[in-house]
Chain A
Amino acid sequence: MEEKKIILDIRNFSVSFHQYEKGFRKTELAVIRNLDVTVHEGEMVAVVGSSGSGKSLLAHGILGILPYNAVMGGELWYDGELLTEERKKALRGNEIVLVPQSLAFLDPLMKIGSQIRRGKKDRESREKLDRIFAGYHLKKEVQELYPFELSGGMNRRVLVSTALMGNPRLVIADEPTPGLHMDLVRRVMSHFRELADEGAGVLLITHDLEQALEVADRVVVFYAGTTVEDAAASDFQSEKTLRHPYSRALWRALPQNGFQFIEGVQPYVKNLPVGCPFGPRCQFYTEACKEEIQSREVQGGKVRCTLDLHTGR
């Protein structure tokens, strides 16, 4: 297999918020720290983390649509060049696209067709949308509907269609299948898989490891704002090939692996422990875990742990 080009490279990315506590004391709340993700062309990478771990902020950070009181750190590289705010502005909606999680992200008072065309009425955009809709077996009349008139089966395809109006090279799907039936999830996921197979990089942000494993090439495990492991999807076939204790805990929590859960809850960003955020819930917790932990490359993946469970080192 030839080496694919890296389309997105996120290095040591962080997002924090300015907050005013009890009146005037300004504090910084770090919601994401030490996040590393790379996406190659034609590759589908899933960032998996539980709800409330700040996953959506990653998507917003890449697109440059974080709220004004958010501060970003680290580096974003897109197509071999640093992704500056100006570049984000120029690329978003065209080369870098977001597929939102629900119809709430569509303007309730604008018809589907003109909304997807971003208000454009020229022949080229009309024809392009007609082609996209035909590709997803959506009738042309759907363009004349308002978002509230869409049926459950249609709205996923409509949301994915929004991504195709540009020429996407990087598709970010933020929790694209919330609360859907597994059959429908598979169908939606297949749309993203198609996009990846056509050459775009797909970054799937989800809380559902099971659906991520169905389609993704690689899985990045995200815990309390930090990426703890970066592994090939095939590594999840067995617990033994996983590197981080949290990944293993997630694996054991899958239905087919016994539905086991571990004690405790993911800490709130304000009360994060020093060092490894998973430490207090980890059976291998040692003094060494209380320091800043660097990411290590192990067996073709990456892990942020003092101990590599895969090799035992």
Chain B
Amino acid sequence: MKEHLIFTGKKVVRMALLLFCVSAAAFILVSVSPVDPLQANVGQAALGSMSREQIEKLQEYWGAESPPVERFFNWAKDFFRGDMGISLLYRQPVSKVIGEKLQNSLWLMMIAWLSSGLMGFLLGVLAGFREGSILDRIMKGYSLVMVSTPAFWLALVLLMVFAVWLKVLPVGLSVPIGMEAGSVTVLDRIRHAVLPAVTLSITGIANITLHTREKMIDIMESDYVLFARARGESNWSIVKNHALRNVLLPAITLQFASVSEIFGGSVLVEQIFSYPGLGQAAVTAGMGSDVPLLLGITVVSAAFVFGGNLMANFLYRVIDPRIRRGGAWG
């Protein structure tokens, strides 16, 4: 029990440090960015026609006057109290904006995360079990091509084929254009999420397939599989009793570590499909110098990715008997 407490304590401290560093880095980057918040958000022409007092008022609103370090710590202090600030662009509390966007994104990311994990695992196990077979070679070739394909390019190709030529799926957004929010059905939402989710999954599947396959090959060449075979265990028995057990551990780590990749990929994909998710909001916030929103998104995503890795660590401790029962290994 004490061990678990120490483990959890260490992780909490590490998470706090990480979040601090990530938000500081993000803040420094926006501070040195050449984007003038006034010009970016009010527009060159409008800025020219404003009076000096109006401009000063605006500058105060954007906080362009006070020194950066002071601004950062002001933000951090409020954040610590649970106040993430007001988004300058959306004119709404940051927490509310993030909540809305995250809902859209989560739905997308969950589909991509689960399907890439399950499919990747299945394909990897199949390919690795029969290394060198035709199935394995097809799978490996496909995965290598897909891993080397940039997600944004794949997104464009899918967009062209399914939305422009075949016209079976919408070009973008998360709900049909010009429709009242109340009359949007679940089916509409699914139809709009298909293309971005598929794009995200395809690259994810390839990655997980390749890793699982590699691990599976190691297992099939291991002494314990050889011995199982010598003891007359059938192929199915070897897969069921030994291969799955042993390949599942690294697969779990990989699955939770891939949260970061899905998160990163979603920024690009959402941008291309104009999908109003967290990724797109991050881009908008960055381009528009909306510091509170950008920092808020940065911290939330960092926490997510950290949470993913933490889950992997934690599950490992629960599942692997060498760590669970042999203290020396932990």
Interface residues of A (CB under 8 A from B): 60, 63, 65, 89, 91-94, 97-98, 100, 102, 104-110, 115, 118-119, 146, 148-149, 162, 165-166
Contacts and interface: CB of A to CB of B under 8 A. Distances in A.
Given A109-B246, A119-B240, A63 B230 contact: yes
Contact of A106 (B224, B232, B237, B320): B224
A105 B246 contact: no
Nearest to B132: A68
A146 B320 CA distance: 11
Contact of A97 (B229, B231, B240): B231
5 contacts: A92-B231, A109-B249, A148-B326, A162-B231, A166-B232
A279 B237 CA distance: 48
A97 B242 CA distance: 19
Contacts of B237: 118-119
A118 B320 contact: no
Contacts of A102: 223
Contacts of A97: 230-231
A110 B242 contact: yes
Given A107-B224, A107-B242, A118 B231 contact: yes
Given A60-B230, A105-B223, A109-B246, 8 more contacts: A91-B232, A98-B231, A100-B227, A106-B227, A115-B241, A148-B326, A149-B326, A162-B231
B320 A109 contact: yes
Given A118-B231, A162-B231, A65 B241 contact: no
Contacts of B321: 109, 146, 148
B325 interface: yes
B161 interface: no
Interface string B52-86: 00000000000000000000000000000000000
Contacts of B240: 119
Interface in B222-236: 223-224, 226-233
A93 B233 contact: yes
B245 A107 contact: yes
Given A89-B232, A93-B232, A119-B240, A104 B326 contact: no
Nearest to A159: B227
Contacts of B230: 60, 63, 65, 92-93, 97-98, 100
Nearest to A119: B241
Contact of A146 (B223, B226, B228, B322): B322
A149 B320 CA distance: 13
Contacts of B246: 107-109
B241 A110 contact: yes
Contacts of B320: 109
A97 B245 CA distance: 24
A104 B221 CA distance: 12
Given A118-B233, A118-B241, A119-B241, A108 B322 contact: yes
Contact of B241 (A104, A107, A146, A148): A107
Contacts of B227: 98, 100, 105-106
A63 B226 CA distance: 10
B162 to A, nearest CB: 43
A162 B224 CA distance: 13
Contacts of A93: 230-233
Contacts of B322: 108, 146, 148
Contacts of A100: 223, 227, 230
B223 A109 contact: no
A115 B242 CA distance: 9
B226 A105 contact: yes
Contacts of B228: 107, 118
B233 A105 contact: no
Interface string B231-259: 11100010011100110010000000000
Nearest to B234: A89
Q: Which 3 A-B residue pairs are closest in the complex by CB-CB distance?
A: A93-B232, A93-B231, A105-B227
Interface string B309-326: 000000000001110011
Nearest to A111: B321
A60 B226 CA distance: 9
A2 B241 CA distance: 45
In this complex, the member of B224, B228, B231 whose beta carbon has the largest number of chain A beta carbons within 10 angstroms is B231
Contacts of A108: 224, 246, 322
A97 B326 CA distance: 31
Contacts of B245: 107, 109-110
A165 B228 CA distance: 13
Nearest to A147: B224
B176 to A, nearest CB: 50
A60 B8 CA distance: 48
Nearest to A116: B231
B284 to A, nearest CB: 47
A65 B224 CA distance: 12
A148 B228 CA distance: 18
Nearest to A108: B322
Contacts of A63: 229-230
B321 to A, nearest CB: 5
A104 B224 contact: yes
B224 A105 contact: yes
A98 B326 CA distance: 29
